């Protein structure tokens, strides 16, 4: 039995975390069940709400973003059972049966909640809705969905020339379009597929690179008339087909597993097994990036569960080298770039990340925040408009850094702090609860001297 170290990881107050580098270093050992996939969890709740009959969800992520989706749907008249239960039940009301809420819907910090729900609300004829979010979400661009929705006939108003929340929506009968999205975004694609589901005729979305395809897979399983064309990265939905409630098993979130994949790769003598992780091809850019960097990761016990491929991932320490990440590889690893920056800072040689300007409009400007916060710890990072150049191999030392209230930054800086000398204070580390409620407990569990 390995010993838990004399606690180098401590909450300094309700929000901030200190990580003290132990004199003899740590290693990570053991097995972790990765919490449910955030993207799949949002969709299971929303599609369940629009289906006829009951949807049973196992493994739903209990992160704050998913709770925001459940709260919005409840305000729209959908019955959803206790989210902490092993199986969560959603009583679907059908495609256009949502109630007009008495108050403003609150999407919290969640871009997926706001953008996908806008697609649903726009098509609820003769009802009026308002939606807002936290400070971060109120500064994120919504015109990327409002523009095509408006082309379909939707009526949506917001600040900054109908771009920023709070937003007001007057539900309408809409007309189908073929939308050529300028960004590869699963939120844009899914928003329009949801609107297309409730609009007579064929709605098509074509994207410049294939974004995550959970909506396509799950809508098909719920009975939607949906076809994909992999040559042109297009998906077409024919409106009007009712959805039928389903049993959904949510795989572990590879974006959450990514923190452990990098942590065990960079901390000598580590070995972790991460169980039941979703390995949907549109999501495994992190495995390809770490493969290029020389990581030692094996994929075990592969199977298909409820339409999504899953596996156990075994990761062992291995010295990493820098690499280049660009194009569709950036799209497939977009949420993992913050933790990839940590891997790159501790790798030998230079890592170049390109085509990642989308990171500037996430929960914070992730390019700028990762560059400034890791540089404070001693990393050498040059910021470019659409990416970063990281000169690896410079030792990190602890100091005060901030998550900027962004869950993925909080967890990335925590992993960096495990390899830093002295003590790191991470302000607002509890932002991790947005996507990984027990992250710090799991860290304690696998951290050994
Ligand atoms: C998501 C899509 C991605 C991703 C986000 C979740 C989804 O955003 O970054 O964390 O569930 O559809 P974009 O659609 O903006 O690329």
Ligand 1 atom closest to the Cα of residue 185 is 14
Q: Helix 186-197 and helix 214-221: axis angle, to 10°?
A: 30
Q: Is residue 338 part of a domain?
A: yes
Pair 351, 385 in one domain: yes
Residue 16 annotated as catalytic: no
Other C-beta atoms closer than 10 Å to the C-beta of 298 total 11
408 is in an annotated binding site: yes
| CA angle 204–107–238, rounded 5-degree value | 20
Among 249, 279, 303, the domain boundary falls at: 249
* Residue 181 Cβ contacting ligand 1 at under 6 Å: no
And the tokens for 251? 């795989």
Q: What is the pLDDT of residue 6?
A: 61
Pair 230, 297 in one domain: no
* Residue 192 Cβ contacting ligand 1 at under 6 Å: no
Ligand 1: residue whose CA is nearest its atom 10: 335
- Total count of domains within the chain: 2
CA 102 to chain centre: 30
Q: Is residue 4 part of a domain?
A: no
Q: Are strands 27-33 and 17-20 parallel, antiparallel or unpaired?
A: unpaired
And the tokens for 156? 């949506």
Among 148, 187, 328, say which to mutate for ligand 1: greatest number of ligand atoms within 8 Å of CB.
Answer: 187
Residue reference for tokens 């609150």: 106
Question: Could you list the residue range(s) of the whole structural domain that residue 414 is in?
Answer: 9-35+252-448
Among 249, 268, 296, the domain boundary falls at: 249
And the tokens for 90? 């959603």
Catalytic residue among 37, 312, 335, 405: 335
* Residue 109 Cβ contacting ligand 1 at under 6 Å: no
CATH of the domain at 443: 3.65.10.10
Pair 210, 265 in one domain: no
Ligand 1 atom closest to the Cα of residue 187 is 14
The DSSP annotation for 372-416 comes to HHHHHTT-EEEEETTEEEEE--PPPB--EEE-TT-HHHHHHHHHH
Among 253, 334, 337, 338, say which to mutate for ligand 1: greatest number of ligand atoms within 8 Å of CB.
Answer: 334
Between CA 59 and CA 68 the distance in angstroms is: 17
Please, what are the averages of pLDDT over each run of 10 residues along the chain (449 residues)? Answer: 58 88 84 98 98 98 98 98 98 97 98 98 98 98 98 98 98 98 98 98 98 98 98 97 97 98 97 98 98 98 94 98 97 98 98 98 98 98 98 97 98 96 95 97 93
CA of 370 to the centre of ligand 1 (A): 19
Pair 396, 273 in one domain: yes
To which H or E segment does residue 109 belong?
none
Query: Using a CB cutoff of 8 Å and minimum separation of 24, what contacts does 307-311 make?
Result: 307/217, 307/218, 307/220, 307/221, 308/40, 308/214, 308/217, 308/251, 308/278, 308/280, 309/278, 309/279, 309/280, 309/281, 310/251, 310/252, 310/276, 310/277, 310/278, 310/279, 311/277, 311/279
Pair 269, 290 in one domain: yes
Q: Is residue 326 part of a domain?
A: yes
Ligand 1 atom closest to the Cα of residue 334 is 9
Ligand 1 atom closest to the Cα of residue 43 is 11
111 is in an annotated binding site: yes
Pair 198, 334 in one domain: no
Q: What is the pLDDT of residue 165?
A: 98
Q: Return all residues near 305 (Cβ < 8 A) that are at least 6 apart.
A: 249, 251, 276
CA of 177 to the centre of ligand 1 (A): 22
């Amino acid at each position: 039995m390995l010993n838990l170290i004399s606690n180098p990881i401590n909450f300094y107050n309700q929000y901030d975390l200190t990580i003290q580098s132990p004199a003899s270093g740590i290693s990570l050992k053991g097995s972790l069940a990765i919490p449910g996939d955030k993207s799949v969890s949002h969709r299971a709740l929303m599609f369940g709400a629009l289906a006829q009959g009951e949807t049973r969800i196992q493994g739903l992520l209990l992160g704050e973003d998913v709770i925001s989706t459940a709260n919005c749907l409840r305000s729209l008249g959908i019955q959803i059972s206790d989210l902490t239960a092993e199986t969560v039940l959603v009583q679907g009301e059908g495609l256009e049966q949502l109630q007009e809420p008495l108050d403003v819907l609150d999407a919290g910090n969640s871009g997926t909640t706001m953008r996908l729900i806008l697609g649903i609300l726009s098509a609820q004829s003769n009802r009026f809705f308002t939606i807002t979010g936290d400070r971060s979400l109120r500064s994120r661009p919504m015109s990327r969905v409002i523009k095509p929705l408006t082309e379909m006939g939707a009526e949506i108003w917001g600040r900054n020339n109908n771009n920023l929340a709070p937003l007001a929506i007057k539900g309408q009968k809409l007309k189908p379009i073929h939308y050529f999205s300028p960004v590869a975004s699963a939120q844009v694609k899914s928003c329009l597929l949801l609107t297309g589901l409730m609009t007579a005729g064929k709605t098509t979305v074509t994207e410049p690179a294939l974004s995550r395809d959970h909506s396509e897979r799950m809508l098909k399983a719920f009975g939607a008339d949906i076809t994909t064309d992999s040559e042109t990265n297009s998906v077409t939905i024919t409106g009007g087909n009712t959805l039928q409630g389903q049993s959904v098993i949510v795989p572990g979130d590879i974006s959450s597993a990514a923190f452990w994949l990098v942590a065990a790769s960079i901390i000598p003598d580590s070995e972790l097994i991460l169980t039941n992780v979703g390995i949907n091809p549109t999501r495994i850019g992190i495995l390809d990036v770490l493969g290029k960097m020389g990581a030692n990761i094996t994929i075990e016990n592969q199977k298909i569960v409820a339409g999504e491929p899953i596996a156990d991932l075994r990761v062992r320490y291995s010295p990493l080298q820098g690499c280049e990440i660009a194009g569709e590889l950036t799209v497939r690893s977009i949420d993992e770039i913050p933790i990839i920056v940590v891997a790159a800072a501790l790798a030998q040689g230079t890592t170049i990340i390109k085509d990642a300007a989308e990171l500037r409009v996430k929960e914070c400007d992730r390019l700028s925040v990762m560059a400034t916060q890791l540089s404070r710890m001693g990393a050498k990072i040059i910021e470019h408009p659409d990416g970063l150049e990281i000169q690896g191999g410079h030792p990190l030392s602890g100091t005060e850094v901030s998550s900027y209230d962004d869950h993925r930054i909080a967890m990335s800086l925590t992993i960096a702090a495990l390899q830093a000398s002295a003590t790191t204070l991470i302000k607002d580390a509890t932002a991790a609860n947005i996507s990984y409620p027990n992250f710090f407990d799991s860290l304690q569990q696998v951290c050994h001297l």
